[in-house]
Chains A and B, each alone.
Chain A
């Protein structure tokens, strides 16, 4: 296990920030740490990185308990903070070389690194001229420069255009699958998590409200996809497949929920074969988004009940 966090608690200036956080990141795995703004995601990362000392709980990095993150441990971690700052007067090449040298030991070739993040043409430009998207890419290159085994990325796709986002997604998948890098991805972009992560943790008000393999969680909590169908005919209620759960209907639209183990394309095909005249289908969230909303909402309700 690259990161093993259990029952982590942290107070700052007398205010409880983290109350019960769990986090388990393994090699080859992309772990999505999600939660509303202010839930404690970035603070959790700060504790893992040794920037804050936890009040209590277990924190293991690379299988070893750590109260204070040592230099050797830091050499094995690549960090991309939420705010990607640089020395704007330096060129990208100079900056990456300088930063990688701080880590000592072997470092990756800078041109190869820049090519990997799509900045091969910008290596000699002063960073001050970079766009927001280019700065995000450079921040990722910085995190990768010393060849880490664990990447900790806070909102890594902020400011990237859709194509750039897709390229960075592919890079993350390749790092995890082909190079065995473990990635802790802290984000509020559920699309990113849905596409990349095999394991997630939902954190809310400093507590982990749900953690585990994404597919298993979606299955266990019945958070299948939600779709809106526009129909030209109105089928009998009894003709509705048993795996399709009606959420809402009206004005020719049916809003239905599908379980996670159902392939929507197969189901639509079956419906068409049974005489359903489906004119339009729209995905309406569901899946991870639905699970996220429900879990964070449940956490709010349980807190409110606790205070009444």
Chain B
């Protein structure tokens, strides 16, 4: 195989699955889901939630965890290579910045794919026999993937610009917190004009609100189109920023 994108993606995948650090992340993800699933079914108050709400919470948790992993991997994409001393050999190899970025993104997608597959048995465990489990699985792929990849691209942008893993990681995590934070506002605040305006530009809210609509309220696909457009635009913008940053990454 000599396709540079495939080679870089394969390296990223191997780093995740053969490297102790990568395996530790996946183990931590599984432990988080296990703990959350156990809480949902055993806690006296949470166990009163209906089946669809439990699935909705689980899908939101998987998306948030995916975004965190994407931010971690994205922060490492250029700055980690620079700090390890492996960026210059990549930049001087006959591959374009777009190929390098796409290979990195493919590795990130592979990580998200593994997380998605790991989440399926948990979703089945908390949602089996209830309504809309299939919708949860489908919409997690449809909305979760662009949100997670978008945060990954955002972290890659900071990683390429700053050249420091910690700097890009902290910056990306702050942006992710700003995105997740409004979801914890009181429902009356979220229904206010400001809350609605925030939801219209917040990709994470776009995904979570869609999960709520299709899993809990059993809405159809059509009303979700504006929110799908939001997460796709988010992904597109982050891709453009990452492609721009990857042309001249900080390498020294």
> Which B residues lie within 8 Å of A72 (CB)?
94
Q: Does B84 lie within 8 Å of A104, measured CB to CB? A: no
Among the 9-residue stretches B43-51, B85-93, B139-147, B212-220, the one with 4 or more Cβ atoms under 8 Å from chain A is B85-93
| Cβ-neighbour of B4 out of A42, A46, A81, A102 (below 8 A) | A102
B93 touching A102, Cβ below 8 Å: yes
Q: Is the CB of B94 within 8 A of A104?
A: yes
Instruction: Give bound CA distance, A89 to B19, whole Å.
Output: 6
> In the bound complex, how far is the Cα of B85 from the Cα of A142, in angstroms?
13
Convert B1-37 into 0s and 1s, putting 1 for each residue whose CB lies closer than 8 angstroms to a CB of A. Answer: 1101001100100110011100000000000000000
Task: For the complex formed, measure the closest distance between the CB of B82 and the CB atoms of chain A, giving whole angstroms.
Answer: 9
How far apart are the CA atoms of A75 and B92 in the complex, in Å? Answer: 9
Contact of A85 among B19, B85, B91, B96 (CB under 8 A): B85
C-alpha gap A32/B231 in the complex (Å): 54
Q: Which residue of B is nearest A12, CB measured?
A: B252
Most buried by A among B87, B88, B91, B251: B88
Q: Considering the chains assembled together, what is the distance between the CA atoms of A98 and B10 in angstroms?
A: 10
Specify which chain B residues have a CB less than 8 angstroms from the CB of A271 in the assembled complex.
none
Question: Could you say which residues of chain B place their CB within 8 Å of the CB of A77?
Answer: 92
By the criterion CB–CB under 8 Å, are A99 and B93 in contact?
A: yes
Inter-subunit contact A83/B85 (CB<8 Å): yes
Question: Is residue B95 contacting chain A, with contact meaning CB distance below 8 A?
Answer: yes
Known contacts A87-B15, A89-B18, A89-B19: does B7 contact A51 (CB below 8 Å)?
no
- Closest A-chain residue to B83, C-beta based? A85
A299 vs B94: C-alpha distance when bound (angstroms): 38
| Distance from A66 Cβ to chain B, minimum over Cβ atoms (Å) | 14
What is the CA–CA distance of A99 and B7 in the complex, to the nearest angstrom?
9
A86 touches B86 (CB 8 A): yes
| A74 close to chain B: CB less than 8 A | yes
A103 and B92 in contact, given A87-B15, A87-B86, A89-B18 (Cβ under 8 angstroms): no
Asked if A98 and B7 make an inter-chain contact with CB atoms under 8 angstroms apart, the answer reads yes
Residue of A nearest to B81 (CB): A85
Interface size class of A (residues with CB under 8 A): 20 to 34
B88 touches A51 (CB 8 A): yes
Contacts of B93 in A (CB 8 A): 74, 99, 102-103
Nearest residue (CB) in B for A88 is: B84
Contact of A229 with B by CB under 8 A: no
Complex: chain B residue closest to A135, CB-CB = B85
Residues of B within 8 A of A75 (CB): 94
Which of these, B2, B18, B81, contacts A101 with CB under 8 Å?
A: B2
- Give chain B residues whose Cβ lies under 8 Å from the Cβ of A42: 252
- Across the interface, A84 reaches (CB within 8 A) one of B8, B85, B96, namely B85
Q: For the complex, what is the distance from the CA of A98 to the CA of B2, rounded to whole Å? A: 9
Interface flags, A97-117, vs B, CB<8A=1, else 0:
011011111000000000000
Q: Is A215 in the interface zone, CB < 8 Å from B? A: no
- B66-101, CB under 8 A of A: which get 1 and which 0? 000000000000000100111111111111100000
Task: Name the interface residues of A187-241: CB closer than 8 Å to any CB of B.
Answer: none
A74 to B91 CA separation, bound complex (whole angstroms): 10
Determine the chain A residues whose CB is within 8 A of the CB of B84 once the complex forms: 85-87
| CB-CB nearest in chain B for A50 | B92
| In contact, B1 and A101 (Cβ under 8 angstroms) | yes
Bound CA–CA A79/B87 (angstroms): 12
Task: Report if A99-B89 is in contact (Cβ < 8 Å); known contacts: A71-B96, A75-B94.
Answer: yes
Question: Which B residue's beta carbon lies closest to that of A71?
Answer: B94
A295 within 8 A of partner (CB):
no
A104→B2 contact, CB < 8 A: yes
User: Which residue of B is nearest A72, CB measured?
Assistant: B94
Residue of B nearest to A42 (CB): B252
Q: How far is the CB of B93 from chain A (nearest CB, A)?
A: 4
- Are the CB atoms of A51 and B2 closer together than 8 Å? no
Counting chain A CB atoms within 10 Å of each CB, which of B19, B85, B95 scores highest? Answer: B85
Residues in A whose Cβ lies below 8 Å from that of B86: 85-87
B19 and A81 within 8 A (CB): no
A119 within 8 A of B: no
Give, as a whole number of angstroms, the nearest-CB distance from B181 to chain A. Answer: 35
Report the minimum CB–CB distance from B249 to chain A (whole Å).
Answer: 9
* Most chain B CB neighbours (cut-off 10 Å) among A77, A85, A90: A85
Q: How far is the CA of A83 from the CA of B81 in the complex (A)?
A: 12
CB distance from A62 to the nearest CB of B (A): 14
Distance of A196 from chain B, by nearest CB (Å): 22
B18 with A74: CB separation less than 8 A: no
Is B89's CB under 8 angstroms from A81's CB? Answer: yes
A125 within 8 A of B: no
Contact partners of A89 in chain B: CB under 8 A: 15, 18-20
- A-B contact sample (7 more), CB < 8 A, given A71-B96, A74-B94, A85-B89: A85-B81, A85-B84, A87-B15, A101-B7, A102-B7, A102-B90, A102-B95
Interface residues of B (CB under 8 A from A): 1-2, 4, 7-8, 11, 14-15, 18-20, 81, 84-96, 251-252
6 contacts between A and B (CB under 8 A): A46-B251, A79-B92, A84-B85, A87-B84, A101-B7, A102-B8
User: Which 5 pairs from chain A and chain B are nearest by CB?
Assistant: A85-B85, A71-B94, A83-B85, A74-B94, A81-B88
